[in-house]
A and B are shown apart, each in its own frame.
Chain A
Amino acid sequence: DTAVSQTPKYLVTQMGNDKSIKCEQNLGHDTMYWYKQDSKKFLKIMFSYNNKELIINETVPNRFSPKSPDKAHLNLHINSLELGDSAVYFCASSQGSGQVQPQHFGDGTRLSIL
């Protein structure tokens, strides 16, 4: 069974559209994250949620709105997509803050803006 699953795997859409990416983890973790990996492969944290509460919002534009309906899910909604949003978005989870145990990652969602 996949521990952290993201859907969709690929997302191709036009500039200005609104889209959502879903993430679910079945590890029983209480913390979930969204990361963005750009074309240079740099992985940067966007958000982290602990027990459904927002802990980190790393100066991400307001067009990005995460939602955590429960501890096992963290979805990402993006409004008014821009060319610069093209990237791979990774969801991850950990127990606690990740200081003691490693984070587990999904396979990523490849977002391409036309």
Chain B
Amino acid sequence: KQEVTQIPAALSVPEGENLVLNCSFTDSAIYNLQWFRQDPGKGLTSLLLIQSSQREQTSGRLNASLDKSSGRSTLYIAASQPGDSATYLCAVHTGGFKTIFGAGTRLFVKA
């Protein structure tokens, strides 16, 4: 059974700091891995999607890596800003229209 774990559960950093969020999954048979952002009272916004054949994806200050064999992914956020404060969710697509989510990392960036 696929399980997705995110560490840390919460993180507080000063503005400008570079940071890394971690995601691990128990079954390497995945089709893709996605990172989402969730703001309070809002739905999820897709940030990056990495196909199982890819190693990383970049969008602006965000870089996500995928090591399928070890069941790990990281989301790197460069030069963090207060507007980055949100919950970041990692999710793996296991095939058959099914996506398994982690519990998320709550990020707070202090001005």
Question: Which positions in A face B, CB cutoff 8 Å?
Answer: 4, 31, 33, 40-45, 48, 50, 55-56, 90, 92, 97-108
Contact = CB atoms under 8 A, between A and B. Distances in A.
Interface in B87-107: 87, 89, 91, 93, 95-101, 103-104
Interface stretch (B14-22, B42-50, B62-70): B42-50
B99 A45 contact: yes
Given A40-B103, A41-B87, A99-B32, A90 B44 contact: yes
26 contacts: A31-B97, A40-B103, A41-B104, A42-B101, A42-B103, A43-B44, A45-B98, A45-B99, A48-B98, A55-B96, A98-B93, A98-B99, A99-B93, A100-B32, A102-B34, A102-B49, A103-B34, A103-B44, A103-B46, A105-B36, A105-B44, A106-B43, A107-B41, A107-B42, A108-B42, A108-B43
Interface residues of B, number: 25
Contacts, number: 63
B7 to A, nearest CB: 15
A99 B98 contact: no
B104 A4 contact: no
A43 B96 contact: no
Contacts of B41: 107-108
B43 A107 contact: yes
A44 B104 CA distance: 13
A104 B103 contact: no
Given A40-B103, A42-B103, A102 B46 contact: yes
Interface in B71-97: 87, 89, 91, 93, 95-97
